[in-house]
Chains A and B, each alone.
Chain A
Amino acid sequence: MRKFALPLAIILSTAAAFALLMNANDAAAPARFESQDDHAATHTMGDLIVRDVLVSTGPGVRIDPASLPAPGALSDWAEIRKVETDSNEEQTRIRFTYQVFYGLRGPETAELPPLRLRFEGAGGAPDVEAPALPVSFMPLIPPGIPDEKVAVRPLRPAETLPISPYGKWLALSLIAAGAGLLYLLWMRGLLPMFAGPLPFRRACRDLQRAASQPSPGQAACLILHRALNETAGEAIFGNGLESFLGRHPQFAGIRGELDEFFALSRRVFFAEDADGDAYAHCLKLARRARLLERRPS
């Protein structure tokens, strides 16, 4: 019995070591080819063909990107356009997009070449080979037509450039500019069709008409008083000028001329003073006020 002990121990230890190795290999879970799409569809010249290759992998095993074919010519009739990978713990899906330029006169079958993909992981993993993929082709030109009867498709015409964006932009910008202009004109009383001119603008016009009257100075003072009253919404006298300017600050720049105007008006109406240069003074003041006045909000 003793003489069998040593060989038995060797056999048992070898078996144990082998079992351990097998377990280690299982733990590494090498990558294994699972499936790829079978292309039942028939393709024609220039088609894009999508080939999905599914590889099952163990944890920690991932594809070596260097083993993926680069986009470009694959053979004289197939090109790789795109390669995408999508991996999780259990499997890796690799999507190849090909474009085929297969010249033929009748239905034919060709094969996209097999793919050898390398995986890497903690325990190492063997290369995975996806078998060649047969693809059916059929011609676009009916097989019975002789070459000299085939009409080449015509050239592409030149296309006129679209004017729509620029026409639309032009119309919109003109509308915006026109709206801004109309508002400014309306504010300055330059649109008589909308609620008439502003008081000083009307005063300027009336003053020009009054120039031919026998005593234009008095008439001019009356016109200017009317314009001031209309602007203020009440009768304005010399002592109310400050409150008027407080409510209409745009006229603050002609405070001095307005003061002079009230003094002039007193002289013309109450001091029996001659008209003198009253008309000219009123006209000048009305013109300056016209430039400053705005339509009330």
Chain B
Amino acid sequence: MVNPAKLRETIAAGILILGSAAAAYSGYRLIGVLSVNAAIQDPSEASLEEDTAPEAVFAKALAFDREGDYQEALRLYHTLQNQADPAFRERVRYNMGTIYLREAASLWNARGVLEYTRVNALVAMAKENLKEALRLNPADQDARFNLEYAFRITPPPKEKEKANWQGTKSSVFSTLPGIPGGGP
């Protein structure tokens, strides 16, 4: 026969232990989230480690881009493009595409076809990333707009260079081997 008072005491002790464990776990996670949020709010102070939260890396990449180091920003975004969360991946792809597009647009508007190769490469990267962003979220209006702009500034296909050979008919024959001794 179980003593009811003892049973109640055991249940209360169990609730106390479980509640304490849950409180400790929640507190630990809460502190983790708060520290990530602090790194997001002020990414310039945050240092990047192996286990840095993806959103903090994203914020750091934004900070690099704001400071003008877009290549470092792209390098960081590249490390994030295989994250599991599709919404997060979409934002990463959108930002990558938009950075490539912005650089391509500034070159295209400043130099035009003179920078054909670089603009073409940058626009191709912009299109690839913005298309991926739209595959992940077809409703993304900003990605649609930027992708359309990427198509607008795609340089026209370069004409195949004409042959630059200046030879004459006689010079062709002069290169053919003759028969020694002037044979028939």
Q: Which residues of A are interface residues toward B (Cβ below 8 A)?
A: 44-48, 79, 81, 99, 101, 103-105, 139-141, 147-148, 150, 152-163, 166-167, 169-170, 172-181, 183-184, 187, 249-250, 294-297
Contact of B30 among A45, A154, A166 (CB under 8 A): A166
Q: Are B95 and A180 in contact (CB under 8 A)?
A: no
Q: Are A158 and B55 in contact (CB under 8 A)?
A: yes
Contact with A along B29-46 (1 / 0, CB 8 A): 110011011001101000
Q: Are B65 and A170 in contact (CB under 8 A)?
A: no
Q: CB-CB < 8 A to B154: which residues of A?
A: 103
Q: CB-CB < 8 A to A46: which residues of B?
A: 134, 138, 140, 143-144, 147
Q: CB-CB < 8 A to A169: which residues of B?
A: 22, 25-26, 29
Contact with A along B72-90 (1 / 0, CB 8 A): 0000000000000000000
Contact of A184 among B9, B26, B29, B62 (CB under 8 A): B9
Q: B124 near A: Cβ within 8 Å? A: no
Contact with A along B1-44 (1 / 0, CB 8 A): 00111101100111111111111011101100110110011010
Q: Are B43 and A167 in contact (CB under 8 A)?
A: no
Q: Are A161 and B5 in contact (CB under 8 A)?
A: no
Name the 6 nearest CB pairs between A and B, nearest first.
Answer: A103-B151, A177-B19, A180-B16, A173-B22, A176-B19, A180-B15
Bound CA span A154–B95, Å = 8
Contact of A147 among B23, B25, B43, B153 (CB under 8 A): B153
Q: B120 near A: Cβ within 8 Å? A: no
Contact of B16 among A153, A154, A181 (CB under 8 A): A181
Q: CB-CB < 8 A to A187: which residues of B?
A: 5, 8-9, 12
Contact of A155 among B21, B53, B99, B108 (CB under 8 A): B99
Q: CB-CB < 8 A to A152: which residues of B?
A: 98, 101-102, 105, 146, 149
Contact of A177 among B15, B43, B108, B148 (CB under 8 A): B15
Q: CB-CB < 8 A to B9: which residues of A?
A: 184, 187, 294
Contact with A along B137-175 (1 / 0, CB 8 A): 010101111111111111000000000000000000000
Bound CA span A97–B96, Å = 27
Q: Are B59 and A158 in contact (CB under 8 A)?
A: yes
16 A-B residue pairs with CB within 8 Å: A44-B144, A45-B148, A46-B147, A47-B138, A103-B147, A150-B149, A152-B98, A152-B146, A153-B145, A154-B142, A158-B59, A163-B33, A163-B37, A180-B14, A183-B12, A294-B5
User: In the assembled complex, how far is the CB of residue A188 from the closest CB belonging to chain B, in whole angstroms?
Assistant: 9
- Give me 14 other A-B pairs in contact (C-beta within 8 A), A101-B134, A101-B147, A155-B65 excluded: A79-B135, A103-B147, A103-B150, A141-B149, A147-B109, A152-B102, A153-B146, A155-B99, A158-B59, A166-B33, A173-B19, A176-B22, A177-B19, A187-B8
Bound CA span A296–B4, Å = 10
Q: Which residues of B are interface residues toward A (Cβ below 8 A)?
A: 3-6, 8-9, 12-23, 25-27, 29-30, 33-34, 36-37, 40-41, 43, 53, 55-56, 58-59, 62, 65, 91, 94-95, 98-99, 101-102, 105, 108-109, 127, 131, 134-135, 138, 140, 142-154
User: In the assembled complex, how far is the CB of residue A148 from the closest CB belonging to chain B, in whole angstroms?
Assistant: 4
Q: Are B152 and A174 in contact (CB under 8 A)?
A: no
- The interface centre, meaning the residue of A152, A154, A166, A176 with most chain B CB atoms within 10 A of its CB, is A152
Bound CA span A105–B151, Å = 9
Q: Are B27 and A161 in contact (CB under 8 A)?
A: no
Bound CA span A187–B4, Å = 12
Q: CB-CB < 8 A to B149: which residues of A?
A: 141, 147, 150, 152
Q: CB-CB < 8 A to B147: which residues of A?
A: 45-46, 101, 103
Bound CA span A148–B146, Å = 13
Q: CB-CB < 8 A to A179: which residues of B?
A: 12, 15, 19
Q: Are A140 and B108 in contact (CB under 8 A)?
A: no
Q: Which residue of B lies closest to A47 (CB)?
A: B138
Q: Which residue of A lies closest to B29 (CB)?
A: A166
Q: CB-CB < 8 A to B98: which residues of A?
A: 152-155
Q: Are A139 and B148 in contact (CB under 8 A)?
A: yes
Q: CB-CB < 8 A to A295: which residues of B?
A: 5
Q: CB-CB < 8 A to A99: which residues of B?
A: 134-135, 138
Q: CB-CB < 8 A to B16: which residues of A?
A: 177, 180-181, 184
Bound CA span A156–B98, Å = 9
